[in-house]
Amino acid sequence: MFTPDCGYYVPATDVPAGDHRTDLFLIADDHDRLKSRVSQLAGRFAHAERPRSRTRRHISNVRIRGVCGDTLRVTCNFIVHRIRLEVTEAFVGRYEHTLVHRDGTLKIVERRAILDLDALRPHGKISILL
């Protein structure tokens, strides 16, 4: 679903409007890093995900914020529930997507998952894709 020139970003909770080139981000992946992250999580050596988490995503308030040629800017709210080791955690926030129409389908050029959490506690880390 991502273009080869994509970006996948999760800004720090204290600077949600930050720039991944100058501010500390929890995740700032290009296409190669994103592929590596997915491969690692799917592999046998992702110790933070053994046993593997189960996740459920709830998406709401999807809004088209802008259209320019084949490019769309879309926002929506999310809750990602992560269930692992008898513990359920909720990651709450907003997605900001830049989508482009290519080869008859919409592809993701950029995804920003902006968390509404004050801190990562009690989670401590993000070992899933938001």
**Biggest alpha carbon distance in the chain?**
47
| Residue 77: pLDDT over 90 | yes
Query: Going from the N-terminus, what domains does the chain have, and what CATH number goes with each?
Result: 2-115 (3.10.450.50)
Q: How far apart are CA 12 and CA 119, in angstroms?
A: 9
DSSP per-residue codes, 17-39: T--TTTS-EEEEEEHHHHHHHHH
5-28 pLDDT per residue, tens:
999 999 998 888 889 999 989 999
Residue 11: asked if its preceding bond is cis (omega within 30°), the reply is: no
> 39 pLDDT band (50/70/90 cuts)?
confident
Task: Please report the pLDDT score of residue 123 as a whole number.
Answer: 60
